[in-house]
Amino acid sequence: MTSEKFAHRPVLLQESLSGLNIKPDGIYIDATFGRGGHSAEILKQLSSKGRLIALDRDDTAIESAQRFIDDPRFSIHHVAFSNIEDVVNELELMCNIDGVLMDIGVSSPQLDDASRGFSFQKDGPLDMRMDRSSGISAADWLNKADLEEITMVLKTFGEEKFGKRIAHAVLEQRVIKPLETTAEFAQLIDKAVPVKDKFKHPATRSFQGVRIFINGELDQLNQGLEGAVNVLKSGGRLAVISFHSLEDRVAKRFIRKLSKGKEIPRGLPITQQEIDADKMVKAMGRAIKPSAEEIALNVRCRSSVLRVAEKL
């Protein structure tokens, strides 16, 4: 299946690019290349001296970058963005990066390709790994994890209040036949959930929870944010687009933590400079959400949020 079969529309494109404050000769990192929607636009704004380093943990994203491969300003690396510092170190560009973009979560091509197992609306193997060369599939995990672990994942990462009931149903099902497909998991959830939300498929939350767990998404985000700030030069920008409240909370808290100076007891004789010495970033404005026009064109972007920070 070619990666170009499934389309992807870049989210908050103009807003994230203006957040990055692209300098034509600058060095930028697109830490979540996907199908290169944001990368293509960054390249348009770079001069022949500029440089774009792209990362993605999904091999289909890497394949789709072939169209940029002849551009000497561009390179792509098949790694998780938690390794951003290793990539930049190897390129000997530490603290020389002008901007890092992280457009996290799954891409439309990942959701739309039934063989990836991300969607409860398309029947396929229950895989859900962004990087199929490592880790274990969602089915393998669900078929061996214990009740407490499954309940914790559904409740914590899926915010599913019926997590325990669903976990019980998984344990009962796998004695009869191990789970293999997205449709089997979706049907099991549908039967286990006693109260249905009018506007949401009952499997929405559980699929999100298992996906976040299988891909270690919140740990990735924490490590990726930390690494991104470390590779930036002073004045460099970090732009993070997230798709649900759990991720946005991590990004928001991270920026807030790094934009606060030392907690100093009141009344101590200390200069403003000493207070500021510990701040690593400043938040650039508030969270930005897609316009009504963008949502009308691409309903999947409706929950996206962009946050921008500048390294001091």
Q: Give the nearer residue to ligand SAM in terms of CB position, either 36 or 202.
A: 36
Q: Which stretch binds ligand SAM (CB under 6 A): 20-28, 50-58, 156-164, 256-264?
A: 50-58
Contact flag: residue 57 with ligand SAM (CB under 6 A): yes
Neighbours of 115 (CB within 10 A): 11
Name the nearest CA neighbour of 284 among 93, 18, 8: 18
Q: Which of residues 14-33 bind ligand SAM (CB under 6 A)?
A: 32
CB-based burial label for 57 (10 Å; 0-12, 13-18, 19+): buried
Q: Is 117 in the site for ligand SAM (CB under 6 A)?
A: no
Pairing of strands 232-242, 97-103: parallel
- Considering the complex, what minimum distance in angstroms separates the CB of residue 213 from ligand SAM? 13
Task: Give bridge partners of residue 241 from the DSSP assignment.
Answer: 103, 306
Which CB, 32 or 208, lies closer to ligand SAM? Answer: 32
Nearer to ligand SAM, 104 or 192 (CB): 104
From 97-105, 135-143, 250-258, 263-271, give the range in contact with ligand SAM by CB under 6 A.
Answer: 97-105
- Pick the stretch among 55-63, 89-97, 111-119, 132-140 that binds ligand SAM (CB under 6 A): 55-63
Site residues for ligand SAM, window 127-146 (CB under 6 A)? 130
Rounded to whole angstroms, how far apart are CA atoms 8 and 110?
Answer: 10
61 belongs to the binding site for ligand SAM (CB under 6 A): yes
58 forms part of the interface with ligand SAM (CB under 6 A): yes
220 binds ligand SAM (CB under 6 A): yes
Residue 56 touches ligand SAM, criterion: CB under 6 A: yes
Told to check if 34 binds ligand SAM by CB under 6 A, we report yes
Span of 104-112, 140-148, 155-163, 181-189 interacting with ligand SAM by CB under 6 A: 104-112
Tokens of 291: 């316009």
| 279 close to 312: Cβ distance less than 8 angstroms | yes
Query: Distance between CA atoms of 208 and 177, rounded to whole angstroms?
Result: 23
Asked whether position 38 contacts ligand SAM by CB under 6 A, the answer is yes
Query: 243 is written with which tokens?
Result: 């798709």
Phi, psi for residue 101 in degrees, rounded to 5 = -110, 130
Q: Considering the complex, what minimum distance in angstroms separates the CB of residue 10 from ligand SAM?
A: 4
Determine the distance from the C-alpha atom of residue 146 to the mean position of all C-alpha atoms in its chain, rounded to a whole number.
Answer: 27
CA 241 to chain centre: 8
Near ligand SAM in 221-250, by CB under 6 A: 224
**Of the candidates 123, 120, 127, 244, which has an alpha carbon nearest to the alpha carbon of residue 190?**
120
**H helices of 65-135, where?**
84-90, 108-112
With binding defined as CB under 6 A, does residue 55 bind ligand SAM? yes
Give the count of residues interacting with ligand SAM (CB under 6 A): 22
Q: Where are the beta strands (DSSP E) in 138-179?
A: none
| Residues that bind ligand SAM in the complex, under the rule CB under 6 A | 8, 10, 32, 34-38, 55-58, 61, 80-81, 103-105, 107, 130, 220, 224
